[in-house]
Structure 1
Amino acid sequence: MYNSDLPSRAELPTSQQLRKSTFIAAIASLVILITVVLPSEYSIDPTGIGRAMGLTQMGEIKAQLAEEAAADAKAAAMPLSQPQVVTQPTPIQQPTPIAANPPAIAPSNINPALQNRTDQLSITLAPGQGTEVKMVMKAGAQANFSWTANGSILNYDTHGDGGGQSVSYEK
């Protein structure tokens, strides 16, 4: 298809003009590399311009995400042992309020058998599978618990449901 005329020799750039254009393009690409690419991609900011423009923070976040991905890949490559969820609820005695004139005999409503109660629960999950572990407690009661995952990763959400309300205990 013929859309335009061929340029004449006078219209073509000379060798000197080509060298000059190439040199200017190389300098421009080097400036862009130092001021934009290095701070935003690798968190390397030799000039300080990247931090002023907010690009260094992007590089820091990208490096952190890469570290987390490497840790996840390493954890996924490890042979999985059987995941185990262990709960150890232990009710804690509420402090007795101090009155100005304490009664001669203070009633004790805490069952000593439940004071040091320990439970252990083991659950084996397939990859991608989840479960919910619930503990029924009276209002105001407290429990100490711990989770283990035998070297695996464990995601959990601690919350309370009662009386139509839901309370999250995430920190």
Structure 2
Amino acid sequence: MTTYDTNLLPTLPQLGKATAVALAVAGAILVGAVLPAEYGIDPSGIGKALGLTQLNGGARPAADVTPAAGAAVVATVARTAHAFRNDEMSITLQPGEGAEIKAAISKGEQFVFSWSSEGGPVKSDMHGEPFNAGPREFSTYWKVAQQESGRGSFTAPFDGIHGWYWRNKGTTPVTIHLQVSGFHDKLFRPAAGA
């Protein structure tokens, strides 16, 4: 038969004290860390001092949000009247050849894109120009000398055509496969010299 030394077990007053200390520590953690980090609620000011309110972007319930005078407000939802589109296009470039694919898109509208080259790396240049732009009126967004793929999201800084130029600097043909999804008007290949 096994016997236990009951003198090693805590007494009821000791258990009560330990429980009270545990509840006090849990409450301090809740008020000082969890509420500021998770909900942006910081009644003690400790969360702000420790930088914990930045973990959730300083978010508070929408009814409490009042931006300071002159403060920038970042929207989390962008509404649009444009239809959502999914477009795919492929082009084959012979050695030394270059070509463009563009998307017509309005200022503030967005798309996500993914492209890859089959057959080797290519020079790539993502850029845009306003509708009816002059020959040197364009903005470059992304330029890489040798690349086999690219992907990301894009928000149009102005009304116009935005897209890609690729040049095959290799000695064998390369095929570019492009996918674009978003609120653009159309995906197309501009006429040569346009």
- TM-score range with shorter-chain normalisation? 0.3 to 0.5
TM-score between the two structures when normalised by the length of structure 2: 0.38
Higher strand share: 2
Higher helix share: 1
Question: Greater relative contact order: 1 or 2 (C-alpha under 8 angstroms, separation 6 or more)?
Answer: 2
Query: Which structure has the greater CA radius of gyration?
Result: 1
TM-score between the two structures when normalised by the length of structure 1: 0.42
